[in-house]
Protein backbone atom coordinates (compact mmCIF):
# COMPACT_ATOMS: atom_id res chain seq x y z
CA UNK A 1 0.00 0.00 0.00
CA UNK A 2 2.66 2.50 1.07
CA UNK A 3 4.90 1.28 -1.73
CA UNK A 4 2.49 2.45 -4.38
CA UNK A 5 2.48 5.94 -2.91
CA UNK A 6 6.24 6.04 -2.43
CA UNK A 7 6.79 5.03 -6.04
CA UNK A 8 4.24 7.55 -7.19
CA UNK A 9 6.05 10.30 -5.25
CA UNK A 10 9.38 9.30 -6.78
CA UNK A 11 7.83 9.21 -10.23
CA UNK A 12 6.46 12.75 -9.87
CA UNK A 13 9.82 13.87 -8.50
CA UNK A 14 11.76 12.37 -11.42
CA UNK A 15 9.25 13.27 -14.11
CA UNK A 16 7.42 16.35 -12.86
CA UNK A 17 4.18 17.24 -14.63
CA UNK A 18 3.62 20.84 -15.68
CA UNK A 19 7.14 21.92 -14.78
CA UNK A 20 8.23 25.01 -16.69
CA UNK A 21 6.92 28.48 -17.40
CA UNK A 22 3.83 30.07 -18.90
CA UNK A 23 3.79 33.03 -21.21
CA UNK A 24 2.11 35.98 -19.50
CA UNK A 25 0.67 34.16 -16.49
CA UNK A 26 -2.21 35.92 -14.73
CA UNK A 27 -0.86 34.84 -11.38
CA UNK A 28 2.72 34.18 -10.40
CA UNK A 29 3.79 33.56 -6.86
CA UNK A 30 6.93 32.21 -5.23
CA UNK A 31 7.63 31.09 -1.73
CA UNK A 32 10.35 29.16 0.04
CA UNK A 33 10.61 26.75 2.90
CA UNK A 34 13.87 27.82 4.55
CA UNK A 35 14.10 24.82 6.88
CA UNK A 36 14.45 22.47 3.90
CA UNK A 37 15.54 24.77 1.07
CA UNK A 38 12.43 24.19 -1.05
CA UNK A 39 11.81 27.01 -3.50
CA UNK A 40 8.64 26.89 -5.57
CA UNK A 41 6.99 29.26 -8.03
CA UNK A 42 3.54 28.61 -9.48
CA UNK A 43 2.23 30.33 -12.59
CA UNK A 44 -1.45 30.22 -13.46
CA UNK A 45 -3.66 31.33 -16.30
CA UNK A 46 -7.16 32.18 -15.12
CA UNK A 47 -10.13 32.62 -17.45
CA UNK A 48 -13.69 33.03 -16.20
CA UNK A 49 -12.60 32.02 -12.70
CA UNK A 50 -11.14 28.79 -13.97
CA UNK A 51 -7.54 27.56 -14.16
CA UNK A 52 -6.84 27.17 -17.87
CA UNK A 53 -3.10 26.60 -17.65
CA UNK A 54 -0.60 25.90 -14.93
CA UNK A 55 3.16 25.57 -14.56
CA UNK A 56 5.53 25.39 -11.64
CA UNK A 57 9.25 25.69 -11.31
CA UNK A 58 11.89 25.71 -8.63
CA UNK A 59 13.72 23.08 -6.70
CA UNK A 60 13.47 21.20 -3.47
CA UNK A 61 13.17 17.82 -1.83
CA UNK A 62 11.21 14.90 -3.28
CA UNK A 63 8.16 15.61 -1.12
CA UNK A 64 7.84 19.27 -2.11
CA UNK A 65 8.46 18.59 -5.81
CA UNK A 66 6.09 15.63 -5.96
CA UNK A 67 3.46 17.63 -4.11
CA UNK A 68 3.84 20.48 -6.63
CA UNK A 69 3.59 18.13 -9.59
CA UNK A 70 0.52 16.35 -8.22
CA UNK A 71 -1.13 19.63 -7.28
CA UNK A 72 -0.48 21.06 -10.76
CA UNK A 73 -2.27 18.07 -12.28
CA UNK A 74 -5.22 18.62 -9.98
CA UNK A 75 -5.38 22.37 -10.63
CA UNK A 76 -5.70 22.07 -14.38
CA UNK A 77 -9.23 23.00 -15.44
CA UNK A 78 -10.52 23.57 -11.92
CA UNK A 79 -12.70 26.52 -10.94
CA UNK A 80 -11.33 28.89 -8.33
CA UNK A 81 -14.02 27.67 -5.92
CA UNK A 82 -12.72 24.15 -6.34
CA UNK A 83 -9.16 25.36 -5.78
CA UNK A 84 -10.27 27.16 -2.65
CA UNK A 85 -11.72 23.89 -1.36
CA UNK A 86 -8.35 22.12 -1.69
CA UNK A 87 -6.93 21.98 1.81
CA UNK A 88 -4.12 20.36 3.74
CA UNK A 89 -6.02 17.07 3.87
CA UNK A 90 -6.42 17.09 0.11
CA UNK A 91 -2.66 17.41 -0.47
CA UNK A 92 -1.79 14.83 2.16
CA UNK A 93 -4.24 12.39 0.57
CA UNK A 94 -2.57 12.93 -2.81
CA UNK A 95 0.81 12.07 -1.32
CA UNK A 96 -0.73 9.17 0.53
CA UNK A 97 2.09 8.45 2.99
CA UNK A 98 2.41 9.63 6.58
CA UNK A 99 4.14 13.01 6.64
CA UNK A 100 5.94 14.00 9.83
CA UNK A 101 5.85 17.53 11.24
CA UNK A 102 9.17 18.56 9.63
CA UNK A 103 8.10 17.41 6.17
CA UNK A 104 4.64 18.91 6.50
CA UNK A 105 5.92 22.31 5.37
CA UNK A 106 7.51 20.65 2.33
CA UNK A 107 4.26 18.91 1.46
CA UNK A 108 2.13 22.03 1.87
CA UNK A 109 4.42 24.61 0.24
CA UNK A 110 2.93 24.16 -3.27
CA UNK A 111 -0.63 24.63 -1.99
CA UNK A 112 0.50 27.63 0.03
CA UNK A 113 2.09 29.20 -3.07
CA UNK A 114 -1.05 28.68 -5.15
CA UNK A 115 -3.45 29.96 -2.51
CA UNK A 116 -1.27 32.88 -1.47
CA UNK A 117 -0.87 33.78 -5.16
CA UNK A 118 -4.60 33.79 -5.78
CA UNK A 119 -5.96 35.10 -2.47
CA UNK A 120 -2.96 36.58 -0.63
CA UNK A 121 -0.80 35.32 2.19
CA UNK A 122 -3.31 36.37 4.85
CA UNK A 123 -5.82 33.89 3.51
CA UNK A 124 -3.28 31.10 3.72
CA UNK A 125 -2.17 31.99 7.23
CA UNK A 126 -5.75 31.87 8.47
CA UNK A 127 -6.07 28.45 6.90
CA UNK A 128 -2.80 27.17 8.33
CA UNK A 129 -3.94 28.07 11.84
CA UNK A 130 -7.05 25.88 11.56
- Enumerate binding residues for Zn ion (CB under 5 A): 36, 38, 60-61, 64, 106
Q: Which is nearer to Zn ion, 68 or 106 (CB)?
A: 106
- Max Cα distance, the chain (Å): 41
Q: Which is nearer to Zn ion, 14 or 126 (CB)?
A: 14
3 state SS of 123: helix
The three-point CA angle 78-38-45 to 5° equals: 25
Q: Annotate 36-83 with DSSP letters as a single string.
A: TTEEEEEEEEEETTEEEEEEEEEE--HHHHHHHHHHHHHHTT-BHHHH
- Return d(Cα 86, Cα 115) in angstroms, integer: 9
CB of 23 to Zn ion, least distance (A): 29
Q: Which is nearer to Zn ion, 61 or 86 (CB)?
A: 61
Q: Which is nearer to Zn ion, 11 or 49 (CB)?
A: 11
Is the Cβ–Cβ distance between 123 and 86 less than 8 Å? Answer: no
CB of 38 to Zn ion, least distance (A): 4
CB of 52 to Zn ion, least distance (A): 29
CB of 110 to Zn ion, least distance (A): 11
- Return d(Cα 130, Cα 127) in angstroms, integer: 5
Amino acid sequence: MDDFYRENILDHYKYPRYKGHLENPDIKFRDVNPTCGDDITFELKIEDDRVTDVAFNGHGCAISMASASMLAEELMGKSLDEVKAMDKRFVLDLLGIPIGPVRLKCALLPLKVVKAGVWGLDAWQREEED
